[in-house]
Amino acid sequence: MGVRLLAAGVASLAVIGMFAVMVQVSSQARRASMAPQNTSTLASILNQARDSSASGPEPEWIVTKANSAHHAMVVEVEARRLDEARAIAIQIVKPLRSRGYQEILIYVRRPRSGVDDALRRIQWTRSGGFVETAYDALP
């Protein structure tokens, strides 16, 4: 009887230990999946195109979203100064010129602005170069 009781105690401890490990692994997986999504890989790569000499403690601009398909790319940027949209676009397009894109559209907004706020759109094409369009804020 003593051996059976000892075996039952060891088995119970093993089950409790396995349960504890499962809870730990489950909570780590849940934490990882609930973490806020950062920018896409493409956006991260484009953020590396920033002129490092112009950056202070916080960058003057950041790519928040970038998508590409069918030899075209759309890039969304938040920038402190909209009047620097063309210079930002030049920094973004420079490493992409050799990638075969026929058109790159870069939308530059102020940080935390809404869809009705002012923005700049820079269109780059191989034949036309850079063309900037300013959209004023809606009243």
DSSP letters, 57-78, are SS-SEEEEEEEEETTEEEEEEE
Q: What is the pLDDT of residues 57-70, one digit of tens each?
A: 678 899 999 999 99
Rounded CA separation 87/95 (Å):
14
pLDDT at 113: 82
Q: What is the pLDDT of residues 78-95, one digit of tens each?
A: 999 999 999 999 999 998
* Polymer length in residues for the chain: 139
pTM exceeding 0.95? no
Looking at 3.40.50, 3.30.1370, 3.10.310, 1.20.58, the CATH number of the domain 41-135 comes to: 3.10.310
Low-confidence ranges of the chain (pLDDT < 70): 1-3, 5-15, 17-39, 51-57, 139
pLDDT at 77: 93
pLDDT at 6: 64
pLDDT at 36: 32
CB 73 within 8 A of CB 104: yes
